[in-house]
Amino acid sequence: MDASDILKKVRKVEIKTRSISKQIFSGEYQSAFKGRGMSFSEVRDYHYGDDVRNIDWNVTARSGNAHIKVFEEERELTVMLLIDISRSSIFGTQTQFKNEIITELAAVIAFSASINNDKVGAILFSDKVEKYIPPKKGRSHILRIIREILYHEPESKGTDLAIALEYLNNVQKKKAITFILSDFMVQDYETALSIASKRHDIVGMHIYDERETYMPNVGMLRSVDPETGELVFLDTSSRKVREEYEDWYDANYQYYNTIFNRYKSDHLSIATGEDYVKKLLKFFKRRAN
């Protein structure tokens, strides 16, 4: 694919997602993203009713009078996108693949942040960190993120969310609104999420295809594992085979649901065949209240 074709596809994503972004947030962007950072402003005399936890003990000791630290809400946010580009995301039985939905959701969030003059960064991951794009402002930067999501060729095929979260914790010292866009076909990321959720406002976006939740009885089925490349033949007429397939999906989903609830991180699931605009509207309105 040449450069002009790449630009056309990026532009197509931009046109669609910018209008969706305005439709979803429509002036409620700031209230939807809770947990804005607070920056130090000044020290003043303590007044009755002030939070004693904000007393500046050093100034109080030097002056002999109680003083308190005053903080103001930071005007800028940093939004980080953790994008799963593993091979399992290249799947879909509806109108779009999972990775296409992930790209559009990332663009919707990024353009919303950009319109509100916030920085946006991205971490593209498989079972390793494939690419890190430091947070910056501006339309050209958002288009670069979209281009990388669309066309970055991953070096690895597997999925390891823990590595991506650990990388986030190392490179992003300032609190960030962090969206994880993945099919979450992985486990063993509880420790990394527990640490990240203390530093950042984490939002999980689970993208799945309905065919992953159940296996129809269609006889012998030739299948290739997208992450291992292993060729297998499945006898879908066997109830045991169908149940094992469904149990594997359920185990990953239940792990995702349990861990995000445990660390009080917002999360939602979006199927490839549903209208994600309605789902996002409902989700962000709930966050804004």
pLDDT tens digit string along 103-149? Answer: 999 999 999 888 888 999 999 999 999 999 999 999 999 999 999 99
pTM, rounded to two decimals? 0.81
Is 98 in the same domain as 43? no
CA distance 207 to 89: 9
Q: What are phi and psi of 24, to 5 degrees?
A: -75, -45
Is 264 in the same domain as 231? yes
Q: What are phi and psi of 96, to 5 degrees?
A: -140, 155
Is 44 in the same domain as 145? no
Helical spans, DSSP H, in 118-238: 139-151, 161-171, 190-199
- The stretch 147-155 carries a mean pLDDT of 93
At 238-280, the pLDDT tens digits run: 788 888 888 989 999 999 999 999 999 999 999 998 999 989 9
Report how far Cα 180 is from the mean position of its chain's Cα atoms. Answer: 2
Look over the chain and give the mean of its residue pLDDT values, rounded to a whole number: 87
At 59-77, the pLDDT tens digits run: 889 999 998 887 655 567 8
Is 65 in the same domain as 184? no
> Could you tell me which residues are beta bridge partners of residue 266?
203
Instruction: Give the residue from 221, 190, 218 showing the smallest Cα distance to 204.
Output: 190
Is 60 in the same domain as 126? no
- Checking if the pLDDT of 37 tops 60, the result is no
Helical spans, DSSP H, in the chain: 3-25, 29-32, 57-63, 98-115, 139-151, 161-171, 190-199, 239-262, 276-288
Is 168 in the same domain as 59? no
CA distance 280 to 121: 21
Is 24 in the same domain as 58? no
Q: What's residue 52's pLDDT?
A: 82
CA distance 184 to 86: 10
Is 113 in the same domain as 91? yes
Q: What's residue 236's pLDDT?
A: 73
**Is residue 37 classed as helix, strand or coil in its secondary structure?**
coil
Is 186 in the same domain as 280? yes
Q: What are phi and psi of 276, to 5 degrees?
A: -70, -15
Is 144 in the same domain as 246? yes
Residue burial 119-152, b: 16+ Cβ < 10 Å; e: rest = bbbbbbbbbebbbebebeeeeebbbebbebbbee
Spatial strand order of the sheet with 201-208 comes to: 129-136, 119-125, 78-84, 177-182, 201-208, 266-271
Q: Is residue 105 a contact partner of residue 183, using CB atoms and an 8 Å limit?
A: no
Is 123 in the same domain as 49? no
Could you list the residue range(s) of the whole structural domain that residue 68 is in?
A: 38-73
- Checking if the pLDDT of 50 tops 70, the result is yes
| 88: DSSP letter | G
Q: Please tell me the total count of domains within the chain.
A: 2
Structure tokens at 188: 């063993």
CA distance 14 to 2: 19
CB-based contacts of 165, cutoff 8 Å, min separation 6: 82, 189, 192, 193, 195, 196
CB-based contacts of 134, cutoff 8 Å, min separation 6: 121, 171
Is 50 in the same domain as 89? no
Structure tokens at 42: 């000044």
* Helical pair 276-288 and 98-115, crossing angle rounded to 10 deg: 40
CATH number at residue 243: 3.40.50.410
Which position has the token pair 């914790």? 169
In terms of residues, how long is the chain? 289
At 209-246, the pLDDT tens digits run: 998 887 777 777 777 666 677 777 777 777 888 888 88
